[in-house]
């Protein structure tokens, strides 16, 4: 969470991030109600932008000695989980570099199997 008086960083997706969105989500909803690109952009992106901006300082640093790279992992609204690789740009904005999505929630049977 952004502290009082702290400035929230701008978040901007890169072309490669949107390429991943297009890879994971079809133009139209699937036959079983699977989310479309527009669904993802309307329901997941605003929360994703907010959470990455608010949680930047505490996010996982996947590369030792490179605090400008971070990984955000979260549960989604429309998907079971998502992971975003991000980088702090020279102008102080956070650039979203890539997106991975797990669209299927774990069933109780899968959780019991470990």
pLDDT per residue over 48-86, tens digit each?
999 999 999 999 999 999 999 999 999 988 999 999 999
Bridge partners for 41 per DSSP: none
DSSP E strands in 21-93: the ranges are: 69-74, 81-88
Give the model's pLDDT for residue 98.
98
The pTM of the full predicted model, rounded to 2 decimals, is 0.83
Structural domains in the chain, CATH included, are 11-109 (3.30.2310)
Ranges of H-type helices in the chain: 15-24, 37-39, 45-55, 108-113
């Amino acid at each position: 969470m952004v502290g009082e008086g702290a400035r929230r960083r701008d978040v901007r997706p890169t072309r490669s991030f949107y390429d991943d969105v297009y890879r994971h989500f079809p133009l139209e909803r699937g036959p079983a109600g699977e989310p479309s690109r527009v669904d993802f952009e309307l329901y997941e992106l605003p929360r994703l932008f907010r959470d990455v901006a608010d949680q930047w300082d505490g996010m996982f640093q996947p590369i030792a000695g490179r605090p400008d790279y971070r990984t955000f992992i979260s549960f989604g609204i429309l998907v079971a989980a998502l992971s975003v690789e991000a980088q702090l740009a020279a102008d102080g904005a956070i650039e979203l570099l890539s997106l991975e999505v797990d669209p299927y929630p774990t069933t109780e049977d899968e959780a019991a199997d470990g």
